[in-house]
Amino acid sequence: MGDRPSEGDVTLLLKELSGGNQKALEDLVPLVYEELRVIARHQLVGEAEGHTLNATAIVHEAYVRLAKLDRIEWQDRAHFFAIASQAIRRVLVDYAIRRNAIKRGGGRKRVDLTKVPLFEDSDADAVLALNQALERLRALDDRQVRVVECRFFGGMSIEETALALDVSKATVKRDWVLARAWLNRELSDG
């Protein structure tokens, strides 16, 4: 696809944004919008027909959240997509919380993490269960959570995740396996 912006264009705008130029974010969005929509669409695979949240809404809400971030030293395109993946995760979790606001209790829900995308039949309960488990995992190993955010919520490859987190591919592979095993165990014990 020849229309994909160069990594240099994106990185330049991110550096300007780090320097306080808020207009750089407005210039950046058209360059990364379609890729963000692909990430968001990936998260909606398997959602029930008539689902009220769509990829465009997720991207717009993530944009609002990214625009509110202060004091981020944006490094490069990979760093941006790692942070954007976190924003998308938070949008989905907040949506699931709102969707389940009328429910009480519920306990943990079993989520099968053996496939990518991790939950093909995802629903609000599964998103909330995964989010709660990720927060417990964060207390044990923050990097493993960031790997899950990049791989699952960001749809990134091993290589892209390694670049975004500035670690080796072997580290990402190991963290991905360990995090999935821990999450499977944690989410199965409900």
Report pLDDT digits (tens) over 23-33: 888 899 899 99
Residue 104 has pLDDT above 70, yes or no: no
Confidence of residue 167 (pLDDT cuts 50, 70, 90): very high
Tell me the average pLDDT of the chain. 81
Predicted pLDDT of residue 109: 54
Which amino acid appears at position 150 of this protein?
C
pLDDT (average), residues 9-34: 89
- pLDDT of 116 reads 37
Could you tell me which residues come within 8 angstroms of residue 87 by beta carbon, excluding any fewer than 6 positions away? 62, 65, 66
pLDDT of residue 174: 94
Report the 10 Å Cβ neighbour count for 157.
13
With 60 as the cut, is the pLDDT of residue 136 above it? yes
Answer whether residue 142 shows pLDDT above 90: yes
Q: In the prediction, which pLDDT does 179 show?
A: 93
Q: Considering the entire predicted model, what is its pTM?
A: 0.62
3-state SS record for the chain: CCCCCCHHHHHHHHHHHHCCCCHHHHHHHHHHHHHHHHHHHHHCCCCCCCCCCCHHHHHHHHHHHHHHCCCCCCCCHHHHHHHHHHHHHHHHHHHHHHHCCCCCCCCCCCCCCCCCCCCCCCCHHHHHHHHHHHHHHHHHCHHHHHHHHHHHHCCCCHHHHHHHHCCCHHHHHHHHHHHHHHHHHHHHCC
Return the domain boundaries, the chain: 7-188
